[in-house]
Structure 1
């Protein structure tokens, strides 16, 4: 049985064909017992050329709809064309600390 990380990775590679990607499991930063429920995705792909941020996110939400139904609770998306990524000197922003559930902070 594939992990959630492996499922996300397989779909990204097959459908979006990114030139660069990072799948970061941030579940440890959030309350609750789930170990694969919160992810940050950094995806660089030609697929995003000509698409605004909303369309890019919609494409990824559609691609990962099954994973979102089956356990992924939060998905932080950072999408770039190769040209945007090359000009980006700071990388993707850090995710905020969890403020919900039983998490203290």
Structure 2
């Protein structure tokens, strides 16, 4: 897997058994901003619905997702925009 979006998807699928997972590369809209790289793959949006988030607050959910993709931050991922929901909260 040499595509960052695929690696993010794989890590989140393994860690959270999502009912819904969307990973979008938003890097083009951040060109010229801090952390943006000429090749992209630096800024992503994630929508993740998982039973694993039931009973977790927003900060705990975010920390869990960041831990799951920590290797990507070490290799150039700069930012994640996260929408994290338990199934009962999903619209």
User: What's the C-alpha RMSD, in Å, of the aligned pairs?
Assistant: 1.0
CA–CA distance in structure 2, aligned partners of residues 13 and 26 of structure 1: 20
Structure 1 segments unaligned to the other structure (5+ residues) = 89-105
Moved over 2 A (4+): none
Number of the residue aligned with 2:64:
59
Number of the residue aligned with 1:48:
53
Whether 1:2 aligns to 2:2 is: yes
Equivalent of 1:38 in 18, 43, 49: 43
Number of the residue aligned with 1:27:
27
Cα offset, 1:54, TM superposition: 0.2
Q: Deviations over 1:71-93 (max 9, x none)?
A: 111111110011100xx3xxxxx
TM norm structure 1: 0.78
Bigger-Rg structure (1/2): 1
Q: Deviations over 1:11-55 (max 9, x none)?
A: 111111100011011001012413100000000000000000000
Number of the residue aligned with 1:12:
12
Structure 2 segments unaligned to the other structure (5+ residues) = 33-37
